[in-house]
């Protein structure tokens, strides 16, 4: 019996490509998959990963309790990039390698889609025409605007490349910014205050951590430019939704583009969903055929690397 790779997340069958699974089988792994179509309970998940060598993980929790007793576990590869569902300190302590995939093209493209849709209020045109209404109103142009990218990692950097054609003034706030990488892309590194106060569009690309919880709140929104737009394709916990709702209804902000929410999956009673100056999507920014295929291959290569004494392709340490 070969070493095991577990796929506990219910969407693995539609997301992880067969080629990646075959690479793992060819490397001698036995694959243990959640084919129930349902989210596993914590005890079912623990049972599945207990004697696995590696796990390909979704958004299910990997806290200390879940990992305790998983003595063969050497690698957890997130089929995504957000690791807020991982206890990274416990994983490091237990000698588990942690990796992610690369979905920055998909998310950067989708961020640009939401940004343009919000500035054009595009969904309202689409809805009106479908209803047989000739509803026309002026929009905003992105060209020449100041865009602040908060969190200048992989997605932030790719977004700045995509935005360069719009002749925007680009600011980036990131405490760990690679200034050279920023300047090469025509981006000016700046402090948080400047990123808030000078931007026509603020776009969030930082991780969800205790430090970044509600980084956009009543106070920080007040310091944003009147009439600015907020785009969030990172994590819902970064934004105080009540404060955003007030800003959108009181005219402080002109609009917002949101892919992520404080509560997911969403329910229809979220007050933000009743507004006509926000553009919404269901946490799907990374969901492209290209990312799914490449992500699967990255997972397989990461696990094979760890088997051979190396590191995951996009290793967290
Ligand atoms: P990354 O790790 O490459 O970049 C994150 C950047 O944020 C880093 O450069 C880091 O220094 C910076 N940062 C950390 N704390 C900060 C702070 N307090 N203020 C400003 N910057 C800070 O990650 P990435 O691949 O660019 O992804 C960014 C985020 O996008 C992820 O954390 C994830 O939550 C989210 N994401 C969402 C989707 C989606 O489907 N909507 C898909 C992928 C990623």
- 254-300, pLDDT tens digit by residue? 999 999 999 999 999 999 999 999 999 999 999 999 999 999 999 99
Co-location of 147 and 204 in the same domain: yes
For 298, the domain range is 4-103+288-315
Co-location of 178 and 215 in the same domain: yes
* Closest approach atom of ligand 1 to CA 84: 34
Buried b (16+ CB within 10 A) or exposed e, 193-231: eebbebbbbbbbbbebeeebebbbeeebbeebbeebbbb
* Closest approach atom of ligand 1 to CA 178: 9
Co-location of 65 and 35 in the same domain: yes
Q: Is 264 a catalytic residue?
A: yes
Q: Is the pLDDT of residue 2 over 90?
A: no
pLDDT tens digit string along 68-126?
999 999 999 999 999 999 999 999 999 999 999 999 999 999 999 999 999 999 999 99
The Å distance, Cα 141 to ligand 1 centre, comes to 26
Co-location of 97 and 135 in the same domain: no
The closest residue, in CA terms, to atom 12 on ligand 1 is: 151
Co-location of 127 and 190 in the same domain: yes
Give bridge partners of residue 72 from the DSSP assignment: none
Is 143 exposed, middle or buried, given 0-12, 13-18 or 19+ CB atoms closer than 10 A? Answer: exposed
| Residue 1: band (very low, low, confident or very high) from pLDDT cuts 50, 70, 90 | low
Strand bridging mode 201-204 / 278-280: unpaired
Co-location of 60 and 156 in the same domain: no
Co-location of 128 and 91 in the same domain: no
Q: How far apart are CA 54 and CA 124, in angstroms?
A: 46
Co-location of 9 and 60 in the same domain: yes
Out of 59, 179, 205, 236, mutate this one to test ligand 1's pocket (max ligand atoms within 8 Å of CB): namely 205
- Measured from CB, residues less than 6 Å from any atom of ligand 1 are 80-82, 103-104, 107, 150-156, 173-176, 205-208, 211-212, 233-235, 259-260, 283, 285-286
Count of domains for the chain: 2
Instruction: Sort residue 273 into left (φ over 0), alpha (ψ -120 to 50) or beta.
Output: alpha
CA 109-113-117 angle, 5° bins: 170
pTM of the model: 0.94
Co-location of 166 and 225 in the same domain: yes
Co-location of 98 and 112 in the same domain: no
Co-location of 97 and 108 in the same domain: no
- Which H or E run contains 192? helix 192-197
Contact status, residue 257 vs residue 278, Cβ threshold 8 Å: yes
**CATH code (residue 227):** 3.40.50.720
């Amino acid at each position: 019996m070969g070493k095991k790779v577990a796929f506990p997340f219910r969407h693995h069958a539609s997301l992880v490509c067969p080629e990646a699974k075959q690479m793992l089988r060819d490397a001698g792994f036995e694959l243990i998959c959640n084919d129930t179509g349902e989210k596993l309970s914590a005890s079912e998940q623990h049972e599945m990963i207990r004697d696995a060598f590696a796990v390909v993980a979704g958004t299910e929790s990997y806290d200390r309790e879940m990992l305790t007793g998983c003595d063969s576990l050497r690698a957890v590869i997130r089929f995504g990039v957000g690791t807020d569902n991982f206890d990274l300190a416990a994983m490091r302590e237990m000698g588990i390698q942690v990796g992610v995939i690369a979905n920055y093209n998909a998310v950067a493209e989708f961020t640009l889609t939401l940004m343009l849709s919000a500035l054009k209020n595009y969904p309202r045109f689409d809805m009106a025409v479908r209803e047989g209404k000739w509803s026309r109103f002026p929009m905003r142009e992105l060209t020449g605007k100041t865009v602040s990218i908060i969190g200048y990692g992989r997605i932030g950097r790719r977004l700045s490349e995509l935005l360069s054609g719009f002749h925007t003034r680009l600011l980036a706030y990131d405490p760990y910014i690679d200034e050279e990488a920023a300047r090469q892309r025509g981006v000016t590194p700046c402090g948080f205050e400047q990123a808030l106060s000078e931007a026509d569009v603020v776009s969030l690309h930082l991780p969800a951590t205790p430090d970044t919880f509600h980084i956009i709140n009543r106070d920080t929104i007040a310091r944003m430019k009147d009439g600015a737009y907020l785009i969030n394709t990172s994590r819902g916990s970064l934004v105080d939704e009540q404060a955003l709702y007030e800003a959108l209804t009181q005219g402080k902000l002109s609009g917002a583009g949101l892919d992520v929410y404080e509560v997911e999956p969403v329910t229809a009673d979220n007050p933000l969903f009743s507004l006509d100056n926000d553009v919404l999507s269901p946490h799907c920014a990374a969901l492209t055929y290209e990312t799914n295929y490449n992500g699967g291959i990255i997972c397989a290569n990461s696990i094979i690397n760890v088997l051979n004494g190396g590191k995951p392709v996009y290793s967290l340490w």
